Structure 1
Amino acid sequence: MSQNKTSKYFKYAIGEIILVVIGILIALQINTWNQQRIENKQELELLKALKDEFEYNLSEVDATIAVNKKTTKSCLTLTKLIRADSLNKMPEYVDSLLLNIGDFTSFDARTGVSGEIVNSGKLNILKNKNIRAQLGNWLTLIADCEEDILFRSDNYTMNLMPFLMKRFPLSNGELTKNLAFDKMNYLETYQEKSPFRINISEDDLMEFENQIWHHKHNHDYVVINERNIRDFIMATIKMIEEELKSS
């Protein structure tokens, strides 16, 4: 009888242990499911935030490309007028072209969401390795473009502007100035033309052509960077949309 009781108690203890183990395994599985559900929710929120950010950047880079396209076109037109020695024949047109070549802009990317994901350790929440790699490359791409932007600006300020200021009534550009970000029309401009005229000699023409070419040359690097950035943004948005569809 004693042996039977011991056997029953042993079986009972084994059963209790098995139940406890099963309970622990179930609890762990539930915890895993909950953790996975939380991570899936976080990933979905990050993907949606990234999509919004990159779509905003797409609209911004498109606007920048449009403005800088006008700058490029004005450089080409000025070069034609220089070579035809026609600057004095259409001074108002030259005024507008000189305004346009200085009206270049640069793409200012919004990187709040992407920067936080990369720098705060949230990158692993994103399961798609291609999107993770894309975000790392995105921040590097933006940083690499800054040098060309600064070089263009410095050359325009230190080389082209001093040349123009001695030979052209640049204030006439005020008559046609229109700042895209001036949504409420706060801008106040000159209402009368300058009394001064274009004062450029034949000897200055080659230097003027070279100055315009150099400005366009520096500007070209920025423009190409912007086109590449646009392609990168489009590819990133496509990746995110495909990931959202599969979520």
Structure 2
Amino acid sequence: MISIFRKIRQKLLSQNRVTQYLVYALGEILLVTIGILIALQINSWNQQRIESNEELEILEGLKNEFENNLEELNFSITINQKVTEASVQLTHLIRSNALENDPELLDDLLVRIGTFNSFDAQTGVSSEIVNSGKLTLLKNDALRTQIVNWLTLLVDQEEDILFRSDNYTMNLMPFLMKRFPLANGDLTKKLPFDRKNYLKNYQEKSPFKFKLSEQEYLEFENQIWHHKHNNDYVSINELNLKDFLNTTLKMIKEELIKKKETR
């Protein structure tokens, strides 16, 4: 093709047809320019198609990740709400001076207040797209903000989870271990995350009885209240996370519908 253009130019110059040569040269330049623009447009379309496919993959990955997180979060919410219920029931026994009336219930409640859960979110997809810079592939500005906020919320939640665990381990447990035969709780203990029943429990009661003086009832109530108080923070955080997950999932699904409709 280039040799043909060269021959045409040489022929026009040899015939001293300058005007026609200039017109031809301009036409050739225009033709080349149009070719470049077409090539650039094709390249742009290809790039857009690649980015669109990447965005679709990211949306699908986020959808799966957030759906799994929502399932695990609901599981955690249920467990931690039971901890609150057990704390309230135990406080009622303390205030009514009825701890000795139902020792089996007392043993069970002491186990239940310690069977709390820590929601461990999956963040593989969301962290990867933020750290790799692929977040810009998401066309929805609000959704991009949600993904960044999601990772921040998880960091904030971790502080309350650690505070609850530390208080239970360093304050409540030492108090209970000096005053109650906690091993009795093993007779009825069922861990919610032991889904395949791997747990092996004690079969006989402890020969020891609980020892709690009248002066210690107030401290016992305060210890249970403080544990409930810490667990309340975790539970409220989880309920807020649930709202956030539901909102984000709705946005992701709407974006997926739009993407699939335009393909």
Fold match, TM over 0.5? yes
SS of 2:171's equivalent in the other structure is helix
Q: Is 1:10–2:22 an aligned residue pair?
A: yes
Deviation (angstroms), 1:212: 0.4
Q: 1:127 aligns with which of 135, 139, 150?
A: 139
Q: 1:233 aligns with which of 222, 227, 245?
A: 245
- Determine which structure has greater relative contact order: mean sequence separation of CA pairs < 8 Å that are 6+ residues apart, divided by chain length: 1
Deviation (angstroms), 1:3: 7.6
CA distance in 2, matches of 1:43, 1:240: 11
Counterpart in the other structure of 2:68 = 56
Per the normalisation by structure 1, the TM-score is: 0.97
Deviation (angstroms), 1:203: 1.5
* Larger Rg, first or second structure (1 or 2): 2
Counterpart in the other structure of 2:50 = 38
Deviation (angstroms), 1:4: 5.9
CA distance in 1, matches of 2:119, 2:239: 11
Q: Is 1:213–2:225 an aligned residue pair?
A: yes
Q: Is 1:118–2:130 an aligned residue pair?
A: yes
SS of 2:244's equivalent in the other structure is helix
Per the normalisation by structure 2, the TM-score is: 0.91
Q: 1:24-103, aligned counterparts within 5 Å?
A: 24-103=36-115
Counterpart in the other structure of 2:201 = 189
Contact 2:83 2:113 in 1 (8 A): yes
Deviation above 3 Å: which 4+ runs of structure 1? 1-4
Deviation (angstroms), 1:176: 1.3
Structure 1 gaps of 5+ residues are none
For structure 1, which segment, 31-40 or 8-17, has the greater mean C-alpha deviation from structure 2 after superposition? 8-17
CA distance in 1, matches of 2:91, 2:193: 29
1:79-109 Cα distance to aligned partner (Å, 9 max, x none) = 0000010001100000000000000011111
Deviation (angstroms), 1:8: 2.1
CA distance in 2, matches of 1:173, 1:44: 50
CA distance in 2, matches of 1:4, 1:228: 83
SS of 1:202's equivalent in the other structure is coil
For structure 1, which segment, 180-189 or 72-81, has the greater mean C-alpha deviation from structure 2 after superposition? 180-189
Q: Is 1:139–2:148 an aligned residue pair?
A: no
SS of 1:151's equivalent in the other structure is helix
SS of 1:88's equivalent in the other structure is coil
SS of 1:87's equivalent in the other structure is coil
Structure 2 gaps of 5+ residues are 1-11
Q: How many residues align?
A: 247
Counterpart in the other structure of 1:154 = 166
Deviation (angstroms), 1:18: 1.1
RMSD of aligned alpha carbons = 1.3
Counterpart in the other structure of 1:164 = 176
Q: Which amino acid aligns with 1:115?
A: S
Q: What percentage of residue pairs aligned between the two structures are identical?
A: 64
